[in-house]
Amino acid sequence: MPIILLIAMLLIAACDEPSPQWRDDNAALDEETGEKDTGDENDPGDGGLIGEEDPMPDDDQPTIDCTPATPTTNEENALRQLFPNGEIFCAAKTGSGAGYFIAIKGGTTVGYAFPASNYGFDGTVAALTAISPEAKSIAVAIVSQRESWWYRLGQWFFDQFKGMLLSDITLSPKYDKNCYPCSEMYEAFKPYEVDAVSGATYTSNAVTKDVWDAFYLYDEVFTPPL
């Protein structure tokens, strides 16, 4: 009887042993205790959840509550001309549904870029005009154009649009889209002086209209409706 009882006890112990899939026979031995380390191989080791990454502080690119912009290649190139200091760009829309870009650096908005497109001599001239949060024009960058007289537009022409406070300019009434040679449109820049390019009037008019359209979009976003 004692032998039979011993056999029965061994069988019961074998039945209580965990099934193989719950055992880690390949676990490494702990150097201090000599026991197997049965910790989860996926455990990050710091008490965090599996798959959860530690927050990585990044002063240059903080978390921004915005819709990331997806500019075209040409738009990206123009944005980098306007904001060359590693800014990130968010996408936004005016009340009328026109899209524009917000440039952010170090968690602070450093400017806006408003797109516009007007017909020149050989086709449309698309541009982005950058404006600061203080409502001052920064610069204008061309997105696309195929003007045969483009070479006549020197840097001096584009520099005319820098540093304009929108509060100094009368935005209403708007310029005539069908104007030529558009003298009234250029006069409306006062107290700033802006001139068309002789020999490339249609082309320079198209760029100037792009700038005006950007000013109107900025005004739409930041001026409360009457």
Q: What does the radius of gyration of the chain's CA atoms come to, in whole angstroms?
A: 33
101 neighbors 91 (Cβ within 8 angstroms): yes
Band (3; pLDDT cuts 50, 70, 90): low
The reported pLDDT for the residue numbered 2 is 54
161 neighbors 176 (Cβ within 8 angstroms): no
What's the structural domain count of the chain?
1
Residue 60 maps to a domain: no
Residue 92 maps to a domain: yes
The 10s digit of each residue's pLDDT in 54-66 is 333 344 444 557 8
Cα angle, residue 52 at apex, residues 21 and 57 outer, rounded to 5°: 155
Distance CA 116, CA 196 (A): 18
Residue 131 maps to a domain: yes
Residue 25 maps to a domain: no
pLDDT of 90 strictly over 90: yes
Residue 216 maps to a domain: yes
Residue 21 maps to a domain: no
The reported pLDDT for the residue numbered 43 is 37
126 neighbors 143 (Cβ within 8 angstroms): yes
**Structural domain that includes position 79:** 67-222
- Contacting residues for 129 by C-beta, under 8 A, at least 6 apart: 113, 114, 116, 137, 139, 140, 161, 210, 211, 214, 215
Tokens read off for 222: 């930041």
- Contacting residues for 45 by C-beta, under 8 A, at least 6 apart: none
Residue 32 maps to a domain: no
Residue 192 is which amino acid? Y
Distance CA 190, CA 45 (A): 66
Average pLDDT of the chain to the nearest whole number = 80
Q: What is the greatest pairwise CA distance in the chain?
A: 120
pLDDT of 7 strictly over 50: no
Q: What is the mean pLDDT of residues 1-25?
A: 42
Tokens read off for 21: 């899939």
Residue 12 maps to a domain: no
The partner residues of 165 in beta bridges, in order of sequence, read 136
Q: What is the mean pLDDT of residues 108-136?
A: 97
CB atoms within 10 A of CB 109: 15
The 10s digit of each residue's pLDDT in 159-191 is 999 999 999 999 999 999 999 999 999 999 999
Q: What is the mean pLDDT of residues 132-160?
A: 97
Q: What is the mean pLDDT of residues 192-201?
A: 96
The reported pLDDT for the residue numbered 122 is 97
Band (27; pLDDT cuts 50, 70, 90): very low
Q: Which stretch of DSSP H or E encloses residue 136? A: none
Band (223; pLDDT cuts 50, 70, 90): confident
Least confident interval from 19-33, 128-142, 154-168, 196-210: 19-33
